[in-house]
Amino acid sequence: MEPINGTVVSEFFLKGFSGYPALERLLFPLCSAMYLVTLLGNAAIMAVSVLDVRLHTPMYFFLGNLSVLDICYTSTFVPLMLVHLLSSQKTISFIGCAIQMCLSLSTGSTECLLLAIMAYDRYLAICQPLRYPVLMSHQLCLLLAGAAWVFCLIKSVSETVIAMKLPFCGHRVVSHFTCEILAVLKLACGDTSVSEAFLLVGAVLLLPVPLALICLSYTLILVTILRVPSAAGRRKAFSTCSAHLAVVLLFYSTVIFMYMKPKSKEAHISDEVFTVLYAVVTPMLNPVIYSLRNKEVKDAVKKACGSRQACR
């Protein structure tokens, strides 16, 4: 679509998969089912973490935060994406685009920090077991989680305001299924260097730095586990962090693949399909991984189901 000089953009057209109607028909039931599993799975994790007193520990406090993030992240774009998959009118208002951009940036960024905090929690639990209740107090848990949420919200609001204040000169077709900030910046007809600098600083702070801290924590954890004399003790120590490690590998491998690979000027449909899958599949798999790899979560779920059947 050609830009219209002198006009103010009041809405954007999310191109998405509009050129592939067969793919849209395939993605709708697939993404609907995955989104439903994401909501139910993460809601179940949140419920058992609150209702079962045995799970009132730092590990499950952070796991509950992760479930909230997964629900919020997918809900910022999946419902509208599902509507657009069935409709030819794939528009979003300027304000709606800004809100969607800000919320997706904030929740995705917070998850990066939260995974690093969870790795630190596992390090203290395994490497400093006697001092763990003192080192990871309830106040510290609230401070770490709150700081991650607030910092990422401020960062995302700043990035969104800077990006959306740029002139768009009538450009309104976003080559994406959501208001992804890099896709929107391609429509700007002004200088995007300030916005790109903010994004670069944020990317460095939220990808390599947390990942380095996670790697350091698990290196120290591995060294400690190998020093455990009994095989049973080593298995028990590893089982307490294997689920988190699986989530870290899944999350960071997909994010790094999407945002660290060389970018081409033109968007490819394969990139968008992969983005849909990782943005929906990863939040869906997180509760599955934790429930399958964590005996305490499985016991809590069984207890909750058993209590409900007894009430009936």
Nearest 10 degrees: CA dihedral of 266, 182, 104, 212? Answer: 100
Do residues 148 and 119 make contact, with C-beta atoms less than 8 angstroms apart? Answer: no
pLDDT tens for each residue of the chain, 312 residues long: 444 444 577 899 998 888 888 888 888 999 999 999 999 989 988 888 888 888 888 988 998 999 999 999 999 999 999 999 988 889 999 999 999 999 999 999 999 999 999 999 989 988 888 899 999 999 999 999 999 999 999 999 999 999 999 998 877 899 888 898 988 998 988 889 999 898 888 888 888 899 999 999 989 988 888 887 777 767 766 776 777 788 888 788 777 776 665 555 455 566 677 777 778 888 888 887 776 556 666 666 666 555 555 555
Backbone angles phi, psi at 93, to 5 degrees: -65, 160
Identify how many contiguous H helices and E strands the chain contains and give both numbers.
12, 3
Domains of the chain: 11-304 (1.20.1070.10)
Residue 310 CA to residue 187 CA, distance in Å, equals 59
Q: Which helix (H) or strand (E) holds 101?
A: helix 94-127
Least Cα distance to 281 among 100, 74, 118 occurs for 74
Cα 63 from Cα 66, distance rounded (Å):
5
Decide if 174 contacts 184 (C-beta within 8 A).
yes
Distance of alpha carbon 271 from alpha carbon 210, whole angstroms: 25
φ/ψ bin of 7: left (φ > 0), alpha (ψ from -120 to 50), beta (otherwise): beta
DSSP 230: S
Contact criterion met (CB below 8 Å) for 182 and 203: no
Q: How confident is the model at residue 248, as a pLDDT?
A: 84
